[in-house]
Each structure stands twice: as structure tokens, then as C-alpha cells.
Structure 1
Amino acid sequence: LRGDQAMSTLFGHVKGAFTGAQNERAGLMKSANKGVLFLDEIGELGPDEQAMCLRAIEEKRFLPVGADQDVTSDFQLLAGNNRDLSIGVKEGKFREDLFARLNLWTFQLPALRDRKEDIEPNLEFELRRFSEREGQNATFNKEARDLYLRFAVAPEATWRANFRDLSASVTRMATLAPLGRINEETVRDEIDRLTVLWRAGAAQFGDGERILSEILDPDRRNRIDMF
């Protein structure tokens, strides 16, 4: 979040503070009074938002967008980020004083590739979530499930986007499964798709065709839908 949207979301705004601000908004920090506020990807905040966040933590008060009087809020802040904030400090992208405030307790969550024992139970969870969201059931047959899990815990399964990769993978298979039954063919196509995505990494689009041709035969390559 950056700019007016981030300011409004975090600190609230008064009516008429900016175009489209037709009503007053409390904001997350005010709403978290006497409670706990979790901010994910806090490293994405811009310099202005970081400065206001620091003041809110230290003084328990802040200025909503368009307001001329502070509001107060006493809350505990938990923050998450997908990369080490100390690197952002060294690069000049994150305030050192805010980092010092946040760094009272630090917990590093291992990547999914480093805790592959979590894949199997979350596979079932993602299937249930798909069923609840889409209103249709999807299940693996035994052979397909075993095939997918063997791949999922293998060294070549890097799970670059962690649980987002797993969730997207299950959604694709459940959506494409014939009559809601995920079979071995569906799993093999998904394994091919994930392999291509992970090998491509941050490569330019033009390299994708080359990578596909290296690891897949023409028939399987033509069957992949890279949505």
C-alpha cells in the first residue's frame, strides 16, 4: 500500500479528505484500539507511511488523512514481510528507527520447501477450501494423489511462492478434473506446469519457449495451459 490509499487504510480519513472520500473512515489503527493489528508486507510501505507508523507506535497517536486533530489508539503491532527488513534498512528503503521498534521479537517462518511435511495436510485443506468456494467437490484418486505428493516433496519441488503455489496448483487441478475426480493425467499436466514455472523463475517471456522445449516433448508442451 502506498499513497492516499495506504494512508486512508491505516490511519483513516475525514469526509472530503480526497476525491471519493464521501464518508469518514476510522482506519485499521484506530479500529485496533485495545487489540492487536497485524500488517503483512510492511516493507512495502512508503517513507511517509513509515514515518506515521513510527509515530503511532511510539506516541499512540496519529493524524488521519485530511484531519487537523490527532486521534489516539493503543494497540499491539505484529508485522510480517517476505524478505529481511534489515536488508531494506541497508538499502535505504526502510527506516532504521521503525525497524528497531518492530524488531523487539523476530520469528522467521521457514519456506514451504523446508517443511514439506506440511504439504499433505494442506493438500486436503485446499481441496476443502476449493469445494466451499466453488460449490463443487473435487477429490484425488489414490494413484494421482500419491503421484502428486511424491513430486511435491521431491528436491526439485521448490515451491517458489510457498502456499500460494500450492493453493493455485490445487485450484487448477480441481478445476480441470474430469467430473471432479483428479486423475494421473491431470496431475502429470500440473507437474509439467509447475516445473516450467519454477525453472523459468524470473526469466524473460522469450526464454519460456526455450525452457519448455528443453524439458517437455511437443505433445505435452502443447497441452499446457499456463493460466
Structure 2
Amino acid sequence: MSTKLDQLSAQLKLALSGLVTQLTVALNEVTIECNADDYLAVCNKLRDHGELKFEQLIDLCGVDYSQYAIEDYADVQWAGKRYAVVLHLLSISLNQRVRLRVFAQDDDFPVLPTLVDVWPVANWFEREAFDLYGLMFENHPDLRRLLTDYGFVGHPFRKDFPMIGNVEMRYDPEQQRVIYQPVSIEMRNNVPRIIRDEGMHK
């Protein structure tokens, strides 16, 4: 580990004492985790602490850990919480980066506080995570779909979302309007015949 990463790790532990549940360094990046209850406090300290100064939120995304296999152990399945939010933060003044991961406590209705008051750019990032993963952000000023259609059913980045979707949209010339109907695509085998045939002869 480089001296700079050593210093950042030490400063994170000192500034966020008792709030960080895990700190790891891999591929020259520092990743920290915290509990959902401490999420806002940790983010405020990351932004405001004099030795951290993470004034810029680069990215915020949702993650669905269902059906997630532990690295190097393909047969070992994830046993933790299902949904997480991952933030990438940049300190322009100190030229350092950190990643923060926090898990929503309820897998059936995942909720975390909004970060719009901490970093206003979180607005659309959180809308995207809501749209694609169904993650709710408490006190968000305008939490509505961002990428999918207003009548879209479900959240397409969840691991249990069907690949062909639930409904399809098309223009009906008889009704002269756009209509929604159940998906009519027939399931098909997408494995090329050559691979299927080779597999049969083994």
C-alpha cells in the first residue's frame, strides 16, 4: 500500500471513529462501509472534515447482491443484506478518492436517507437508483422514475426481474394510441447450435 493510501486510511479511521464498520484497500482504492443509521453523519464528516474534504460526489449507484457469488468461491452465496448504495467521492483540494458502501436494512422495502442536502448532484443519481433498483430515498425532493417510462412495471436492474420484462408498449392503429400489454415474446434458446451440439458429444 502506498504512503498516501496509508495516510488516508488512518485519517478515515480517526475522523470516523466508531462510525465505520469496515475499511478495505484493494487495487489502490479505499472502500469504507457504515450502517444505514450512520449514513448521513458519515457523509457530512467526509465532506466537512478538514483532513478529508470530499466535496464532490462523482457517482452514486444501487447494487443488488442477490445471487451474488463470493469472489474465488463460486459455490458460496452472499448471506448479507440484498441492496446497497455505493458512492464514489473525490476531494479536489486534497487529490484523494474514497468509496462508501451502505446496505439498506429492509430487503423488502429498501430505504436510505437522501444525500441531496449534502451533495445536490445526488438528486438524479438517487432517482436512477430508485428507477432501476427500487431503492427509496427518504426526504428526496422529487423521487420519480428517470430512465424508464412512467407506466413501467418493476425495477429492471433487480436480479429477479425477467429478461423480457413484464409488459410491452406498442402503437395500436385501431385505437390510435399507445397501449401496454403483457409481453408476447416467445422464450427461445440463445445458445448457438454449434455450442449446444459440441456439449452433447462430451
Q: Could you say whether these structures have the same fold, taking a TM-score greater than 0.5 normalized by the shorter chain as the test?
A: no
- By percentage of residues, which structure has more strand? 2
Structure-2-length-normalised TM-score: 0.26
Structure-1-length-normalised TM-score: 0.24
